[in-house]
Structure 1
Amino acid sequence: MTDSNWLGPAGRIAYTAGQAARVAWFFGQYALAARLSGPALPAARRPAGVTVPDRGAILRGLRALLARDLANIEAGYYRMPHDLLPGPRRVLADAAAFFADLPAVARRRRGRIGREVRAAPPPGSERLPAYYRQNFHFQTDGYLSAESARLYDHQVEVLFGGGADAMRRQALVPIHQHLRERRQADCRLLDVAAGTGRFLTFVKDNHPRLDATALDLSHAYLAEARRRLAPWARSTRVVQALAEAMPLPDSSQDVVTCVYLFHELPRRVRAAVAAEIARVLKPDGIAVFVDSLQTGDDPAMDGLLRLFPLAFHEPYFADYAAGDLPALFAAAGLTVRSCELAFLSKVIVLAKTGAS
């Protein structure tokens, strides 16, 4: 890629129209889901005195994120996404599957049933850690089935009004800046908690010669990742393993990415994963961390952070939101180089302590 990737008027129009359709599509599904199954958090369960931004404020934040996304594309940090909205058949199939599963999600939410998968674990998941065998977000099968993997990215986009991919793409900026002076075919990137491989498709679309590893604990999600990453199969591998015990050599990775993992880990496991990231990172490498905002990052959003773990089964989120990430990383041997907010997420770039 070059440093200039100016789109011109036609490219801007295509991006703006595609994102407008995307936001309308996913926001509309969020509103319809609330109407069909009731609000995610009934008023009776809301803590007194907690205020949340209205829809206008959320949309303004989302528009700012998309403006930043477009500016990054024009600056040449990454390519224009080729699937702002997939084909009509896939879009409608995803929506139909989402709404077909909605009654089961609503049943768990009403009953506060967050550990259903422990009572009836999908085959092959019985020995996975207890912290992982949960119905995160009250979703069917947690992260442990092919159907869950099929639905996951659509569910997340509904939750974030079509902004989840744009938040993920902010991690591509420091990756571009780190790799631009390096021979990419000689570099290695590890994506920790790669899930369905969605983020890695963005990485590979921009850096096709980069050697990449998708590491995750879910066999079903890695199967979906393998399918999505098939165009780059020769330079990509998938590994099923614990993030707190990665089967990779010390100082072997030029870039380590970790997207939306830490808020779903107990405190002790977060510390162990941070230590593993430091262990496998090269002395001159970078780690790029993307996760939810924390309390105080954007005070206008603090109410949402307070209500989120109550509305969705997120047993470790409140502890994550109140945690001291720089101290956590420092204890693992990582130093924060930069931290930027991106709508409801934050992007942190880390280096090994003492690295120039």
Structure 2
Amino acid sequence: MPDTITKLTYQTFQQSKIYFALAHKQISTRLRNFVYPNLEFKTQPLSPEILQKMQKRIDDIMERDLIDGENGIYPINIIFDNPWSDFFSYYPNIWIDMPTVWNRIQQKKYQEFSPQINTQNYPAYYLQNFHYQTDGYLSDTSANLYDLQVEILFNGTADAMRRRILAPLKMGLEKLFSGKNLEAIAPQNLRVLDIACGTGRTLKFIRATLPKAALYGVDLSSAYLKKAHQLLSEELGELPQLLQGNAEDLPLRDNFFQATTCVFMFHELPPMVRQKVIEEAFRVTQPGGVFVICD
């Protein structure tokens, strides 16, 4: 069981993130209603029962996150990780960008990109403003704001949700290597691919969990890969190899990885594309390997 001080510190840390996200949403909603009083969303208020279930799931995620850290699945310090420099640098930009987002919603513009962005050679489903964010996934500005926006969207639990892949990943690899100490395995024999690695947050947590593994990340967005390189270059250990590529047709050879992961991507894919991505993950993962999805 987690020790009392660590548990209280973690709970305080997580609750502060949750309250901050809720306060942000409440203030931004009031401001939006003032600026765009006729802006309508096709949503309905959640019932008290559903809200209670959601809170229970958040509590369960936090408890599991703490227990996994205490049990050595990953270093306990990463449960307190937060991109503070990005927060102070870019959080004001979220507010600055809001009027543009609201205007896009009002005009129902779901495929609006800055003129300087090259939209060639991307799948049609990728060329949209996911969650109405400016420039979708194709600009440096979007990459800088993404992690902050996702933490707010998920009420401060995004990183804890990402870390849910680490226990099945590590246990699957231990099974693959018959219980051997994973840190004793040569990097060329322990390769892990994160599909749709985005800004590299998941790879950062995998590196903390598997410090000796050879890590790879693939993403369609060059802007997000640049952000991932910036984040991961600050970490100890070998820098993951980052590749630009489509998850439907991974630029990697068969049976190359002992494990593959994918976080927060499948809900944004058309059904047929999801199947293609799963088949590609199966193709590049060696028999008996591990594939973990978080969505």
1:171 Cα deviation after fit: 0.5
Secondary structure of residue in 2 paired with 1:77: coil
1:288 alignment partner, one of 283, 288, 292: 292
User: Take 1:67 and 1:45, find their aligned partners in 2: how far apart are those partners?
Assistant: 33
User: Take 1:64 and 1:147, find their aligned partners in 2: how far apart are those partners?
Assistant: 33
The yes-or-no answer on 1:168 pairing with 2:171 is: no
1:63 Cα deviation after fit: 2.0
1:138 Cα deviation after fit: 0.6
**Pairs aligned (count):** 281
Secondary structure of residue in 1 paired with 2:126: coil
User: Take 2:91 and 2:239, find their aligned partners in 1: how far apart are those partners?
Assistant: 32
Q: What's the C-alpha RMSD, in Å, of the aligned pairs? A: 2.5
Query: Unpaired runs of 5+ in structure 1?
Result: 1-5, 292-356
User: Take 1:235 and 1:147, find their aligned partners in 2: how far apart are those partners?
Assistant: 23
1:157 alignment partner, one of 137, 147, 151: 151
User: Take 1:53 and 1:98, find their aligned partners in 2: how far apart are those partners?
Assistant: 29
User: Take 2:100 and 2:68, find their aligned partners in 1: how far apart are those partners?
Assistant: 39
User: Take 1:226 and 1:282, find their aligned partners in 2: how far apart are those partners?
Assistant: 26
Evaluate the alpha carbon distance shift between residue 26 and residue 143 of structure 1 in structure 2; reply closer, same or farther with a 3 A threshold. Answer: same
1:158 Cα deviation after fit: 0.8
- In structure 1, give the amino acid aligned to 2:15: A
Secondary structure of residue in 2 paired with 1:190: strand
1:22, 1:84 within 8 Å by CA — same for their partners in 2?
A: no
2:98 alignment partner, one of 102, 115, 125: 102
Match in the other structure for 2:199: 196
Evaluate the alpha carbon distance shift between residue 205 and residue 272 of structure 1 in structure 2; reply closer, same or farther with a 3 A threshold. Answer: same
The yes-or-no answer on 1:276 pairing with 2:280 is: yes
Evaluate the alpha carbon distance shift between residue 214 and residue 112 of structure 1 in structure 2; reply closer, same or farther with a 3 A threshold. Answer: same
5 Å-filtered alignment, 1:261-340, equals: 261-291=265-295
Evaluate the alpha carbon distance shift between residue 150 and residue 234 of structure 1 in structure 2; reply closer, same or farther with a 3 A threshold. Answer: same
1:169, 1:202 within 8 Å by CA — same for their partners in 2?
A: yes
User: Take 1:178 and 1:122, find their aligned partners in 2: how far apart are those partners?
Assistant: 44
Match in the other structure for 1:304: none
Q: CA offsets per residue over residues 173-196 of structure 1, 9 Å max, x none?
A: 111212333444321101000000
1:226 alignment partner, one of 218, 224, 229: 229
1:82 Cα deviation after fit: 5.8
User: Take 1:109 and 1:11, find their aligned partners in 2: how far apart are those partners?
Assistant: 43
Match in the other structure for 1:9: 4
1:127 Cα deviation after fit: 2.3
Evaluate the alpha carbon distance shift between residue 90 and residue 234 of structure 1 in structure 2; reply closer, same or farther with a 3 A threshold. Answer: closer
Percent of residue pairs identical: 34
Match in the other structure for 2:68: 72
Secondary structure of residue in 1 paired with 2:287: strand
The yes-or-no answer on 1:216 pairing with 2:256 is: no
User: Take 1:234 and 1:107, find their aligned partners in 2: how far apart are those partners?
Assistant: 43
Secondary structure of residue in 1 paired with 2:125: coil
The yes-or-no answer on 1:116 pairing with 2:112 is: yes
- In structure 2, give the amino acid aligned to 1:221: Y
1:53 Cα deviation after fit: 3.9
Q: CA offsets per residue over residues 61-108 of structure 1, 9 Å max, x none?
A: 322221121122222222222644444x64333321211111111111
Query: Unpaired runs of 5+ in structure 2?
Result: none
Q: CA offsets per residue over residues 222-266 of structure 1, 9 Å max, x none?
A: 000111111356351000001011111111111110111111112
Evaluate the alpha carbon distance shift between residue 106 and residue 56 of structure 1 in structure 2; reply closer, same or farther with a 3 A threshold. Answer: farther
The yes-or-no answer on 1:237 pairing with 2:231 is: no
Report the TM-score when normalising by structure 1: 0.72
2:33, 2:39 within 8 Å by CA — same for their partners in 1?
A: no
1:121 Cα deviation after fit: 5.2
1:78, 1:176 within 8 Å by CA — same for their partners in 2?
A: no
Secondary structure of residue in 2 paired with 1:171: helix
2:86, 2:144 within 8 Å by CA — same for their partners in 1?
A: no
Match in the other structure for 1:342: none
2:253, 2:284 within 8 Å by CA — same for their partners in 1?
A: yes
Secondary structure of residue in 1 paired with 2:261: strand
1:123 Cα deviation after fit: 3.4
Report the TM-score when normalising by structure 2: 0.86
The yes-or-no answer on 1:37 pairing with 2:41 is: no
1:142 Cα deviation after fit: 0.3
The yes-or-no answer on 1:133 pairing with 2:127 is: yes
User: Take 1:43 and 1:135, find their aligned partners in 2: how far apart are those partners?
Assistant: 18
> Bigger CA drift: 7-16 or 97-106?
7-16
